[in-house]
Every structure is written in structure tokens, then in C-alpha cells.
Amino acid sequence: MPDLLLELFSEEIPARMQAKAADDLRRMVTDKLVAEGLVYEGAKAFATPRRLALTVHGIPARQPDLKTERRGPKMGAPDAAVQGFLKATGLNSLDEAKIQRDPKGDFYIALIEKPGRDAIDVLAEILPVIIRTFPWPKSMRWGARSGKPGSLSWVRPLHAITATFGPETEEPDVVKFSVDGIETGQTTYGHRFMAPAAINVRRFEDYEAKLKAAKVILDPQARKDIIFADAKELTFAQGFELVEDQVLLDEVSGLVEWPVVMMGSFEQEYLAIPEEVIRATIRNNQKCFVVRDSKTGKLTNKFVLTANIEAADGGKTIVSGNERVIRPRLSDAKFFYETDLKTKLEDRLPKFEQIVFHEKLGTQAARIKRIERLAAEIAPLVGADVAKATRAAHFAKADLLTEVVGEFPEVQGLMGKYYALAQGEDASVAAACEEHYKPQGPTDRVPTDPVSVAVALADKVDTLVGFWAIDEKPTGSKDPYALRRAALGVIRIILEQSGRISLTPIFQDAIALHIVRGGDATFENIVRIVRNPTPDPTFLRKGGPIAADNLASLVGDLLAFFADRLKVQLREQGARHDLVDAVFALGGQDDLLMIVRRVEALGKFLESDDGKNLLAGIKRASNILGIEEKKDKRAFDGAPDAALYGLVEEKALAKAIGEVQAEASAAVAREDFAAAMSAMAKLRPPVDAFFDKVRVNDDDPKVRENRLKLLNEIRSATRAVADFSKIQD
């Protein structure tokens, strides 16, 4: 079957847009082909700085003929309806229609046959539309046509379109169309400098081969492999080691069509700068890799660059040019770093009084004070020294006002650690300056030092409580303040340090600190008021963004949000989200570690036969209760009357419930959830026997009510472990 080759040749496409553009081109073309009935065998897209290319193989040469039936009016319908039907279907008269018998009446049916078209004609129709509607993040117009309505908008000026279609054994045809005066053809171009001449291509195989001969590596992955392998070999040959950087590798491969790896150097004096600053300087400004001494593990004064040309002088001029750019950049970084060292972190803090964190949440200085106090409250819970945690929180944001962080925002926190160490701070305090931002994503490491843990939790909880208080919660895909990431960070920190922390009192402390901001009472007094079941609304209105009637719902909403985030976390680890629901439904579940352990035990229990059968029995009891409670408009609470038990199975179930409830509750109290599940398993035989022998809806109303109360006892007993009604079958 025929294959399609499509290339869109342009000026340089930004590296960050190339991968998505190639994927968009493949998706848009193949979706259109399938919609037109042209089911293909395979497709692959490519991108270089100057071209998007697509090959689709195994396309049918022609669309299949399409036969459809269209239902018309009833027999005897008004003439206007009949004439409209004939016109819409292309029939000359009703004699050409079929009649379909139907209980509601007999209807006319038109059989419409639409012959398929040649695939090349379909391509000539759909490709221009795709090019004109291509979803570039940013695009431009150019040339004399740019002022005309409907002129082509593209990421960079488009110069040529190659489009061929045909079977492998024959000369392909050009898919003829034009876009803004650019006619399709079989001509592309090689490397801008080393092989700029026009190249005539037929199909993908010779297209890729001819481009390679013209110094263009079409496949982005092939370019990455070349850069990585050559860089590793070049550094190894000189006794060094490449500092790998996948993100930079992806970007550099999008800047070149013919990668040539070289090595440059800079003065030794710049190695006095922190390694991360050297790396950020060289990476951000020149897209170069840094090099490590394999013996010492420290950076050397070398860097690896990727050129787009095989230079006649072996690259000396290119290397020299990169060195001339990097030296002044490193000189600036060194100046910034040395200037920062002259000012102590505490001397920078007063400037935060003039910096607003959020218009409804006060200044950055107020936020730092809240984090300090909250870190002090959390410190004993995680085994951290209170004084160190307070001091670390005091300095944690100070490096935001330094020159280096102003130039390289990605090293915030890290520079705080360096500056703290330089002024003689404790190692744990310095480490917390860096680690309190962590984890910043699912693959980022979690802080382990207790001081870092205390400050990291305080920072994230203050953010969550503050934005919850002003109703700036995440909605849909929008999360401008990264609150989902903050919650996941709290969850990971607590779980990975295996700490026992209840979230509710921490949330209440954070709420109190927001109220103190505008009030006139001490933190301790406000905490007592916040934790009171009926807080004084008059007092709470004196300051802060939180009203008294919002306290309970605020904590409840935050816990529900954490439950959702915990589901995400556990689902990624293979756990079932409904088990998390079943545990959270018990209420007051704010100890994340205990929740996870309970979910794990519940999951193992439900994998057993006892667990599956007991779940079925409990759900049956819940369903019966739900129906009868709705019918009687009442709940069947209260203890059953043992005197009304008339059957052995009733007595056996009642006895088992009492024993199991006591045993399971005791096991849960000592947090032995496996034992609690084992206790629950003992309910299976009496529950099965009850439903096998006992009719719940007895004719005697008292017996019926008593049996419904017994079913409610089953539900109550199992709630010592989880709300089984939330578990899916």
C-alpha cells in the first residue's frame, strides 16, 4: 500500500516546541485519515531545528465506498416534507426509496451510496487545513502576504512543503496543493552551511538517507545519542566525567541538525563559586554541559559544547567564542556571590516588610514569622530541636533577596544553605534553608533531617491554610499556587519519615497564626479559642482572614483535600482509592501513617476469601438497612433486645458481634490492623448463616425491628476498622 512523506521546511523552530509539534503533526494527520476511512498501518514524526517531517505507511490507495441509509417521512406525509427528503438525499422520486415497516407507521428510507475518492485527493484536501490550523504556542506572519486576511501564521517563516504519496514499488506522486503561495513538491534542503543545495526526494527511506548525506540527522533521538556518546567519550579521554543533564540534552539536540561535540575551558579562579552556580551560568547562557573530576568528584574548569557544524579549523574558533561568552558570565556570578557574602542573612530580613506575599495574607515578613512559630510547634513532633527549627525558619527565605538568586532563581534555598554555612550557622539550620522547599515533585527527594522536616512542613501547611482561608483553592486543572504539590509534599514527608503526626492540631495552629496577624492576643490564647468546639466569633473577627463559623469547615475541607491527594499517592503505588475512602469515612482520620497502614491491612484482608465474603455480607446488611430506613423514615439505632431472638442464628450473630467488636477495637487501639482484620473475619460464618436462615422482614413488627437493629450492629462493628459501604465490589 502507498506511503505518505510530508516535510514542512522553515526557519529555526524553537527547541522547546519541536517534540510537541512533531507529535501534533502525527496526531492531526492520522486522525484525519482515519476519519476519512483511510486506516493506515503506522506513522512516525520527526523534528529538527528547520523542519517537521512525517511518514505514514500502509495507507489505502482509495477510500472505501460508503453506503448509508437515511430515514425519511411517513407514507402519506405532506408534499413539502417529501420534497425536502428527495432534495436532501438526491433521489429523483419516491419510487427510488425503500419502505420500512414500523409499529408507528411506514417510513420512506433512502439508500445513499457515496463512492470513495483516491487517497491522494483526500490528502490534498486535508493537509492544507492541518497546516493552516497547526497549534503552535506562538506564531508569526511574514512577507508581502502577511497583511492580507487569512494569511498563513507559522512558528517561523515557512519556505517549502514536500509531500509525496505512492507505493514502494513505483515512483510516488506529489500531493498537489499550495499554502500561501508555497507549492508542494519533492524538494528539500540539507544543512544550512555544510550542504545548503536543494535535494530531490521520493519517499521516506531516500529522504532520510539523502538528508544524512547532506549533514542532517533527522531523528531527534539519534542526535541525542550522538551528543551523549561523544561527550562521554571526550571527557573520559581527558580523565574527566560528564555531568549528565537530560533536560539540557533534550534542548541541545533541538538546536543542531549535525551535532559536533567539543570541549572548552575557563579560569581556575571561578571554581571558588558554588558548583551549582557555575552549572547554572554555563547551562543557562551557553547551553553547555559541565565536567567533573572523576577522582575528586568536584567540577573542573572544563565545559562541553555542541556545535552545528564541522569547522575547517577543527572548532577552535567556535570553542574560543564560547569561552569569551562564558568568562564574563562567570565573572558576574563570582561578583554576585562575593557581594552576597558581605551581607548577613538576618540583615536582609527587614526588606521583607515591604514585600507583599499576597494582598489578603500580608507581607513576606509576616509569613516568615508564622513559619517560625509553626516550625517550633511541629519540631517536637518530628524529633527536631525547637531552637534550631525556629532559627532555620527565620533564615529560610532570606536568600530570595540575594544577587545570585535574583540572577538564577533555580538555586534558591541552595544558596541559603551556602550563605548560612559561610556565616557559621549550624549544619542542620543551613540544610533546612535548602531542603524546606522539598519535595518539589514526585521524583524529588524528601528531607530527612528533623530540622528540615519541621520547617518544610511549616512552610507548606502555612501556604495551604492561608490560601484555603481566602478561598483560593485549586479548581479543575488550575492550581496557580501549587497547592496540590504542597499537599503531596506534606504527605510524602510524613510517610517517608514514618512519623506519627495528626494534621488537625497543626492546621489549627496555622489558623491561629493567621488570626494573630491582625489581632491583639497571644498565640496560645488564640489556639485555645480555635480548638474550642464553639469559638467566640466576636473575638475572631478582630483580625485575620478567618471567621469563627469557617473554622470547622476549613479544617474539614483541608482534610478532604489531603484524602484526595493521598488517594493519588497510594494509587501510584498500586493501592485502591476506595479503600482510602473507606478509612477516611470514619471521620477524624488525620494521622496519615496510620491511614496508610490501615489501608494496606484492609487491602490484604479483602484479597482473602473471608474478606470478600464478609464484604458481600456487610453490603447486603447495609442495603437492606438503607431500604428499610428509607421506607420507615427512621434509623434502627440502639441495642437489639436479646429476649426477641427466636433463632439460633440470631443469637450466634449477636454473640459474635459483641466479641468481634471488642477484639477489633482493642486491636485498632494498639494499631495492630492485621489483628483487627483477623477479628473481622470471625464474623463471616455467623453473618452467612444469618442471611441463609433468617428472614429479616418478619411479620411481627417487633421481631422485624429487632433484626434490623442486629443488622445495624454488623455495620457498627465493622466501622471499628473501616466504612465497608465505601468499598467497591
**Looking at residues 442-466, what average pLDDT do you find?**
94
pLDDT single digits (tens) 612-630 = 888 888 888 888 888 988 8
Q: Which amino acid type is present at position 56?
A: V
**Among 251-265, 512-526, 588-602, 647-661, which is the least confidently predicted range?**
512-526
In a 13 Å sphere around the CA of 436, the CA atoms on its Cβ side amount to 37
Alpha-carbon dihedral angle through residues 711, 717, 720, 721, given to the nearest 10 degrees: -70
**Looking at residues 437-460, what average pLDDT do you find?**
94
Helix (H, G, I), strand (E, B) or coil at 117: coil
pLDDT at 428: 97
In this model, does residue 97 exceed pLDDT 80? yes
The torsion angles phi and psi of 580, rounded to 5 degrees, stand at -65, -45
How many residues comprise the chain? 729
pLDDT single digits (tens) 99-118 = 888 777 788 888 877 788 99
pLDDT at 555: 85
pLDDT single digits (tens) 123-156 = 999 999 999 999 999 999 998 888 888 899 999 9
Residue 37: left if φ>0, alpha if ψ -120 to 50, beta else—which one? left
Structure pTM?
0.77
Task: Give percent of the chain with pLDDT exceeding 70.
Answer: 95
Task: Find, among 9, 2, 34, 1, the residue nearest to 173 by Cα.
Answer: 2
pLDDT single digits (tens) 468-498 = 988 899 988 889 999 999 999 999 999 888 7
In this model, does residue 552 exceed pLDDT 80? no
pLDDT at 523: 67
**Looking at residues 414-425, what average pLDDT do you find?**
97
Distance CA 462, CA 481 (A): 12
C-alpha distances in Å from residue 504, one per residue of 19, 421, 509, 560, 587: 45, 35, 9, 12, 12
Distance CA 704, CA 695 (A): 9
Q: Which amino acid type is present at position 693?
A: K
Q: Which amino acid type is present at position 48?
A: T
Element (H, E) at 165: strand 158-166
pLDDT at 538: 52
pLDDT single digits (tens) 193-244 = 999 999 999 999 999 999 999 999 999 999 999 999 999 999 999 999 999 9
In sequence order, the 6+-apart residues with CB closer than 8 A to the CB of 340 are 402, 403, 404, 415, 419
In this model, does residue 537 exceed pLDDT 70? no
Take residue 256 and report the three cell numbers written for it. 543542531
pLDDT at 150: 84
pLDDT at 676: 87
What DSSP character marks residue 48?
A: E
Take residue 36 and report the three cell numbers written for it. 476519512
Q: Which amino acid type is present at position 441?
A: G
pLDDT at 350: 95
User: Could you tell me if 165 and 123 are in contact, meaning their C-beta atoms sit under 8 angstroms apart?
Assistant: yes
In this model, does residue 607 exceed pLDDT 90? no
- Please name the residue ranges forming H helices in 542-681: 551-572, 577-584, 592-607, 609-632, 648-669, 673-681
Q: Strand 260-265 vs strand 51-57: parallel, antiparallel, or unpaired? A: unpaired
Distance CA 436, CA 456 (A): 4
Q: Strand 98-100 vs strand 107-114: parallel, antiparallel, or unpaired? A: antiparallel
pLDDT at 535: 59
- Does residue 301 or residue 521 have the better pLDDT? 301
**Looking at residues 692-700, what average pLDDT do you find?**
90
pLDDT single digits (tens) 557-597 = 898 899 888 888 887 777 777 888 888 777 767 888 888 88
pLDDT at 518: 47
Average pLDDT of the chain to the nearest whole number: 90
Other C-beta atoms closer than 10 Å to the C-beta of 669 total 10
Distance CA 382, CA 98 (A): 81
Q: Strand 289-293 vs strand 299-307: parallel, antiparallel, or unpaired? A: antiparallel
Alpha-carbon dihedral angle through residues 488, 490, 495, 498, given to the nearest 10 degrees: 170
In this model, does residue 342 exceed pLDDT 80? yes
pLDDT at 546: 57
Task: Give percent of the chain with pLDDT exceeding 90.
Answer: 60
pLDDT at 717: 82
Distance CA 52, CA 18 (A): 8
Distance CA 105, CA 423 (A): 93
pLDDT at 157: 96
Cis-peptide into 480, omega within 30 deg: no
In this model, does residue 530 exceed pLDDT 80? no
In this model, does residue 297 exceed pLDDT 50? yes
pLDDT at 66: 76
Cis-peptide into 128, omega within 30 deg: no
pLDDT at 541: 46
pLDDT single digits (tens) 161-187 = 999 999 988 899 999 999 999 999 999
Q: Which amino acid type is present at position 229?
A: A
**Looking at residues 304-311, what average pLDDT do you find?**
96
Give the CA radius of gyration of the chain.
Answer: 36
**Looking at residues 35-54, what average pLDDT do you find?**
96
User: Could you tell me if 644 and 702 are in contact, meaning their C-beta atoms sit under 8 angstroms apart?
Assistant: yes
Distance CA 184, CA 173 (A): 11
The torsion angles phi and psi of 113, rounded to 5 degrees, stand at -110, 120
pLDDT at 532: 66
pLDDT at 346: 95
Task: Find, among 478, 475, 479, 501, the residue nearest to 490 by Cα.
Answer: 501
